[in-house]
């Protein structure tokens, strides 16, 4: 029996009823099960309120006195020792006459006899019993979860196990990207291990941080050498004698010498439940922390109060105060639940969140992003009050926001400037320029070019500058990414007063940003922005997750800039590109199989006819692009329709895509008496090369076999007209609302040249045109000379553009229908969530 008794422990018999019948009036006996922060805070408060009122016995399962559990992370990271985090040493228990029984968990409560029994067989009677058993790490029940080397992160023993593993080096996998998991990951990394964090959700700490802040945190951890895999679901833990790795549900194997399981905690209510106390997710308590048995209290992480459980320290202390009052016989005092705030204890990473920042009916967001300093702040307001706050990179006003939030203070007066922090809004409430005016001269305004406020103000006054462009020219402030142009304009306004006239604004991408399409695209490439949240942060988006206008555009820009690397954002695509079919006015879809160059065959037509019969497809129509369109297909039928078409060798016709639609051809020299070249064959080659690409808008090609131009090639995005001596390439045409005939780009002699020019033209369009700008308005905007300069006059550049196009195509030529019909990709898209009778 491994028992640690504190030094003043008398014989066990002293605690028994018999000895208490003599002498002074018997003190009430308080037994505390759980020697952790909640239990001991209660005892500490109780001793202050009613010293000597109880004879107190404390059972602790761990072999230590009470320590500050939330400081385990710094112990793991080597920033603190265990001794430094002990809250009450054994001498404190002695001095207060408390019997401390460590390493001795309590195993049962006899509510009739009013006794508890410990694992050591010790029976101790109580008048009042306090259950403060805290919580346990939740171990996800995957195969291998009980292997040696799988560690929770809850107590000092876990930290010791991690430190022992880290001393040997090697690899650690941390399952769970919440507060504890990230602190564990950081500690293990600091101790020299290779660390990978696996997180089920798309962003880290999603319960405490919004996605924008979560991504910033992920970037910082990655910068510190921690691998982060989000959206990763653990299938099993591998190993026979000891853990050797983790297998994900997507099939990836991650080698590991230890696995830290930090997916969450569960209230440790087994004792209360076994004793028949009313339990929900925890032991249920009222506002005075009383359980369903009037002699038994519960406090801390093991309780459920008003339907909520808590895992942070502040609420536990609030509970402990109320409970201590009750135990001390004081009237009044009720625990009404807690508003909580969170801070991540990773040195050098400043993250703070508080309250409810999920939004809600009638809430408004105030978002502040300072890309240069890596700062993100979001405040959520409702009815003139602060409801929630998320701070990343600059958390110095966290305490202020938290107090405004807890007090439910009316913040209408500070609303306009409160995002800048507590210093603002006092003298000049409501004037955003005051925020800039109040900055010190040393404040960096332009992070790209390192220009301080003082430099800019000096230039404005010294050189008589009056416009943003002049400031750019003289100081280079906002001359790179332009992210600080708003701040520079505010500086101009603050310095010049009425003398400043804001420059006419270029049309921004959408209401989420002040930047233009071109500025955002340039920044994506120049700053190496690789995800949408990166763009939101760097370009200081004013909304948390963009809108239906900017998200598809950004998704395209990122896809174009980082082929093979950027992961397509499914929820940022229009429905047609998600469903790989065209939505119709009644909510059904139309399906267009690809017919290369407009060619088809008896077996394809037969398969199409069978599909039409089998799925009762009401309308079949031949399109202008030489395809067959099946109208009125129910969404749920799409995968089955595709499966049948795939089986006959047909693939998606991408009739729904901002991408290559069709290559229309005439029959050319193979059949036509006027044909000069094999226009059909060339059309098929062009379609094989270009299908599957994503472009700013739809792209249609055509090849006509002679200048009679039966394929209408001169109103296409790129049209080839065959002539005796070779091929004419025409670009920038379209039918539609504003018909535009193509411009002649060049005449070439061979099919190879046609293909190279086509690839180069496609890529120039992909890289330069704005999202939803077709080639016709693009060519008009930039001018044919610009296109010719890039493609005709600069063969080097033409070849490079073509090479980039072909490279990007290596990632885009998978038939999306086959992926969905056979491999079950995006299955949820085509299934009802539920069918309620």
Partner 1 sequence: MDSIMTDARWTLVGTIDDIPVLGSRVVRTPDGDIALFRTAADEVFALEDACPHKQGPLSQGIVHGRRVTCPLHNWVIELATGEAVAPDEGRTGHVPVRVEGRSVSIALGMARLSRGGCRKACAHV
- Residue 834 within binding range of partner 1, rule CB under 8 A: yes
Part in contact with partner 1 (CB under 8 A); list of ranges 136-144, 394-402, 575-583, 597-605:
575-583
Residue entry with tokens 């005092």: 333
Task: Determine the interface stretch with partner 1 among 319-327, 402-410, 540-548, 747-755 (rule: CB under 8 A).
Answer: 540-548
How far apart are CB 571 and partner 1 at their closest, in Å?
4
Q: Which is nearer to partner 1, 308 or 744 (CB)?
A: 308
Q: Which of 48, 167, 308, 575 binds partner 1 (CB under 8 A)?
A: 575
CB of 214 to partner 1, least distance (A): 10
Strand (E) or helix (H) holding 66: strand 66-67
Angle between helices 485-496 and 453-463 (to 10 degrees): 50
Rounded to whole angstroms, the Cα distance separating 769 from 762 reads 10
- Each residue 586-605 as x (binds partner 1 by CB under 8 A) or -, in order, gives -x------------------
Distance CA 686, CA 755 (A): 7
Q: Least distance in Å: CB of 617 to partner 1?
A: 19
Closest CB 304 distance from partner 1, rounded Å:
13
Q: Residues 194, 394, 545, 753: which binds partner 1 (CB under 8 A)? A: 545
Q: Is 564 in the site for partner 1 (CB under 8 A)?
A: no
- Candidates 91-99, 345-353, 574-582, 721-729 — which segment interacts with partner 1 by CB under 8 A? 574-582
- What is the number of alpha carbons within 13 Å of residue 207 lying toward its C-beta? 16
Task: Output the six-digit token pair for 494.
Answer: 């603050």
Exposure pattern of 403-426 as b/e (b: 16+ CB <10 Å)? Answer: ebbeeeeebeebbbbbbbbeebbe
Contacts 24+ apart (CB under 8 A), 452-457: 453/491, 456/488, 456/491, 457/491, 457/495
Does residue 832 interact with partner 1 by CB under 8 A? yes
Indicate the residue among 505 and 828 with the shorter CB distance to partner 1. Answer: 828
Q: Name the residue among 440, 442, 354, 431 with its Cα closest to residue 399.
A: 354
Question: Residue 543, interface with partner 1 (CB under 8 A)?
Answer: yes
Render 103-171 in DSSP notation, one character per residue: T--EEEEETTTTEEEETT--EEE-SEEEE---EEEPPP--TTTTSTTEE-SSSHHHHHHHHHHHHT--E
In angstroms, give the least distance from the CB of 45 to partner 1. 33
Which ranges in 497-598 belong to alpha helices (H)? 517-526, 532-538, 550-561, 575-579
The least CB distance from residue 359 to partner 1, in Å, is 5
Nearest-approach distance from CB 833 to partner 1, in angstroms: 4
* CB nearer partner 1, residue 544 or residue 683: 544
Longest dimension (CA), the chain: 126
Q: Which is nearer to partner 1, 559 or 746 (CB)?
A: 559
Write down the least CB distance from residue 380 to partner 1, Å. Answer: 10
Determine contact, residues 466/500, Cβ cutoff 8 Å: yes
**Nearest to partner 1 of 577, 815 (CB atom):** 577
Is 404 or 550 the residue whose CB approaches partner 1 more closely?
550
What is the rounded distance in angstroms from the CA atom of residue 384 to the CA atom of residue 491? 28
Reduced 3-state DSSP string for 472-488: HHHHCCCCCCCCCHHHH
Q: Which of 107, 127, 206, 227 binds partner 1 (CB under 8 A)?
A: 206
**Distance of closest approach, residue 536 Cβ to partner 1, in angstroms:** 11
Choose one: 75-83, 91-99, 572-580, 669-677; the region binding partner 1 (CB under 8 A). 572-580
The span from the CA of 368 to the CA of 377, in Å, is 5
Please say which residue, 218 or 495, places its beta carbon nearer to partner 1: 218
Q: Within positions 184 to 203, which residues make up the interface with partner 1, using CB under 8 A?
A: 202
Helix axes 485-496, 468-475, angle to 10 degrees: 110
CA distance 760 to 802: 4
Asked if residues 205 and 311 have their Cβ atoms less than 8 Å apart, the reply is: no
Per CB under 8 A, 210 contacts partner 1 = yes
Strands 243-248 and 234-239: antiparallel
- We find the least distance from the C-beta atom of residue 636 to partner 1, in angstroms, to be 10
Nearer Cβ to partner 1, position 82 or 574? 574
455 scored as a contact of partner 1 (CB under 8 A): no
Please tell me the count of residues contacting partner 1 according to CB under 8 A. Answer: 37
| 13 belongs to the binding site for partner 1 (CB under 8 A) | no
737 binds partner 1 (CB under 8 A): no
Phi, psi dihedral angles at 683 (to 5 degrees): -60, -40
- Contact flag: residue 726 with partner 1 (CB under 8 A): no
What is the spatial distance between Cα 505 and Cα 509, in angstroms, rounded to a whole number? Answer: 12
Kindly state the DSSP code that residue 273 receives in the 8-state scheme: H
Residue 383 in contact with partner 1, rule: CB under 8 A? no
C-beta closer to partner 1: residue 377 or 472: 377
Based on the shown chain and the rule CB under 8 A, indicate whether residue 828 belongs to the binding site for partner 1.
yes
- CB of residue 654 vs partner 1: minimum separation in angstroms? 18
Q: Is 837 in the site for partner 1 (CB under 8 A)?
A: yes
Piece of 464-472, 497-505, 557-565, 827-835 that binds partner 1 (CB under 8 A): 827-835
Among 552, 668, 683, 759, binds partner 1 (CB under 8 A): 552
Question: Can you tell me the distance from the alpha carbon of 663 to that of 325, in angstroms, rounded to the nearest whole number?
Answer: 81
Residue 326 phi, psi (nearest 5) = -65, -45
List the strands of the sheet with 296-298, edge to edge: 4-5, 99-102, 54-59, 28-33, 128-131, 296-298
Of the residues 5, 70, 437, 547, which one makes contact with partner 1 according to CB under 8 A: 547
- If binding is defined by CB under 8 A, does position 498 make contact with partner 1? no
The nearer residue to partner 1, 495 or 590, going by C-beta atoms, is 590
Q: How many CB atoms lie within 10 A of CB 66?
A: 27
Cβ atoms within 10 Å of 725's Cβ, excluding its own: 10
Stretch of residues binding partner 1 (CB under 8 A), selected from 267-275, 392-400, 434-442, 541-549: 541-549
Site string for partner 1, 780-819 (x = CB under 8 A): ----------------------------------------
Among 22, 112, 571, 810, binds partner 1 (CB under 8 A): 571
Give the position of tokens 């006819």: 609
* Residue 263 within binding range of partner 1, rule CB under 8 A: no
For Cα atoms 337, 341, 344, give the angle at the middle one, nearest 5 degrees.
140
Specify the 3-state DSSP secondary structure of 286.
Answer: coil
Of the ranges 12-20, 21-29, 206-214, 788-796, which one interacts with partner 1 (CB under 8 A)?
A: 206-214
Give the H or E element holding residue 74: helix 72-76
**What are the residues whose beta carbons fall under 8 Å from the beta carbon of 351, sequence distance 6 or more?**
205, 208, 209, 213, 217, 342, 343, 344, 391, 392, 395
546 counts as binding partner 1 under rule CB under 8 A: yes
- 235 part of the interface to partner 1, by CB under 8 A: no
Q: Which of 522, 561, 583, 792 binds partner 1 (CB under 8 A)?
A: 583
* Window 338-377: contact mask with partner 1 (x via CB under 8 A): -------------------xxxxx---x------------
Smallest distance from the beta carbon of 575 to partner 1, in angstroms?
4
Please select the residue that binds partner 1; options are 218, 572, 734, 758, rule is CB under 8 A.
572
- 672-690 burial by CB neighbour count: b if 16+ within 10 A, else e? beebbbbbbbbbbbbbebb
Would you tell me which residues interact with partner 1 (CB under 8 A)? 202, 206, 210-211, 357-361, 365, 543-548, 551-552, 570-576, 578-579, 583, 585, 587, 828, 832-837
């Amino acid at each position: 029996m491994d028992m640690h008794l504190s030094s003043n422990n008398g014989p066990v018999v002293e605690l028994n009823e018999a000895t208490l019948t003599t002498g002074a009036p018997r003190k009430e006996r308080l037994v505390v099960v759980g020697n952790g922060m909640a239990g001991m805070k209660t005892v500490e408060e109780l001793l202050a309120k009613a010293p000597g009122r109880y004879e107190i016995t404390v059972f602790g399962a761990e072999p230590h006195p009470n320590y500050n559990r939330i400081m385990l992370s710094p112990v793991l990271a080597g920033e603190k020792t265990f001794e430094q985090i002990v809250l009450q040493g054994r001498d404190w228990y002695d001095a207060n006459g408390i019997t401390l029984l460590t390493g001795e968990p309590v195993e049962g409560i006899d509510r009739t006899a009013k006794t508890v029994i410990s694992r050591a067989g010790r029976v101790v009677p109580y008048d009042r019993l306090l259950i403060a058993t805290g919580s346990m790490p939740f171990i996800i029940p995957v195969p291998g979860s009980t292997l040696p080397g799988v560690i929770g992160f809850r107590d000092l023993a876990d930290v010791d196990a991690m430190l022992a593993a880290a001393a040997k080096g090697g690899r650690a996998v941390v399952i769970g990207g919440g507060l504890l998991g990230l602190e564990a990951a950081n500690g293990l990394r600091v101790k020299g291990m290779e660390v990978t964090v696996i997180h089920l959700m798309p962003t880290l700490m999603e319960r405490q941080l919004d996605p924008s802040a979560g991504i910033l945190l992920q970037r910082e951890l990655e910068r510190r050498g921690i691998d982060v895999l989000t959206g990763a679901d653990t299938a099993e833990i591998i190993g026979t004698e000891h853990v050797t790795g983790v297998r994900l549900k997507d099939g990836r194997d991650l080698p590991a010498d230890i696995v830290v399981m930090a997916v969450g905690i569960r209230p440790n209510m087994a004792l209360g439940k076994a004793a028949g106390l009313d339990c929900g997710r925890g032991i249920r308590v009222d506002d005075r922390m009383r359980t369903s048995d009037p002699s038994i209290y519960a406090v801390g992480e093991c309780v459920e109060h008003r339907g909520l459980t808590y895992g942070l320290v502040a609420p536990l202390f609030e509970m402990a105060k109320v409970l201590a009052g009750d135990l001390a016989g004081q009237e009044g005092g009720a625990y009404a639940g807690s508003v909580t705030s969170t801070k991540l204890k990773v040195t050098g990473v400043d993250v703070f969140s508080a309250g409810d920042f999920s939004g809600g009916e009638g809430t408004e967001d105030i978002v502040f992003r300072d890309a240069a300093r890596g700062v993100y702040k979001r405040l959520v307001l409702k009815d003139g009050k602060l409801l929630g706050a998320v701070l990343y990179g600059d958390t110095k006003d966290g305490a202020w926001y938290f107090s405004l939030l807890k007090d439910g203070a009316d913040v209408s007066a500070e609303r306009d400037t409160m995002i800048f922090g507590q210093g603002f809004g006092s003298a000049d409430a409501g004037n955003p320029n005051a925020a800039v005016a109040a900055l010190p001269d040393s404040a960096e305004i332009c992070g790209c070019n390192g220009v301080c406020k003082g430099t800019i103000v000096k230039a404005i006054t010294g050189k008589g500058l009056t416009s943003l462009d002049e400031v750019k020219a003289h100081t280079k402030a906002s001359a790179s990414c332009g992210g600080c142009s708003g701040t520079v304009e505010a500086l101009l306004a603050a310095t010049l007063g009425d003398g400043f006239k804001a420059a006419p604004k270029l049309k921004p991408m959408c209401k989420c940003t002040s930047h233009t399409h071109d500025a955002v695209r340039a920044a994506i490439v120049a700053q190496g922005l690789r995800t949408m949240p990166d763009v939101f942060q760097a370009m200081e988006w004013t909304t948390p997750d963009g809108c239906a206008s900017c998200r598809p555009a950004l998704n395209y820009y990122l896809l174009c800039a980082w082929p093979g690397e950027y992961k397509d954002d499914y929820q940022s695509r229009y429905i047609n590109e998600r469903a790989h079919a065209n939505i119709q006015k009644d909510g059904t879809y139309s399906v267009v199989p690809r017919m290369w160059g407009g060619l088809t065959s008896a077996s394809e037509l037969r398969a199409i006819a069978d599909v039409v019969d089998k799925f009762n497809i009401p309308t079949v129509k031949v399109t202008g692009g030489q395809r067959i369109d099946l109208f009125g297909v129910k969404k749920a039928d799409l995968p089955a329709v595709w499966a049948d078409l795939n089986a006959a060798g047909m693939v998606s016709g991408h009739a729904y895509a901002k991408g290559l639609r069709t290559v229309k051809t005439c029959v050319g020299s193979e059949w036509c008496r006027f044909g000069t070249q094999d226009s059909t064959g060339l059309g098929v080659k062009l379609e094989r090369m270009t299908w599957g690409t994503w472009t700013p808008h739809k792209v249609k090609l055509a090849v006509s076999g002679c200048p009679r131009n039966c394929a209408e090639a001169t109103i296409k995005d790129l049209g080839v007209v065959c002539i005796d001596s070779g091929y004419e390439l025409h670009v920038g045409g379209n039918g539609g609302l504003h018909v535009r005939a193509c411009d002649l780009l060049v005449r070439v002699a061979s099919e190879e040249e046609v293909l190279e020019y086509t690839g180069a033209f496609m890529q120039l369009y992909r890289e330069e045109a704005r999202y939803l700008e077709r080639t016709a308005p693009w060519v008009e905007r930039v001018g044919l000379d610009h296109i010719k300069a890039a493609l005709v006059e600069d063969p080097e550049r033409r070849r490079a553009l073509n090479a980039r196009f072909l490279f990007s195509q290596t990632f885009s030529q998978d038939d999306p229908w086959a992926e969905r019909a056979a491999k079950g990709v995006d299955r949820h898209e085509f299934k009802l969530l539920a069918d309620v009778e």
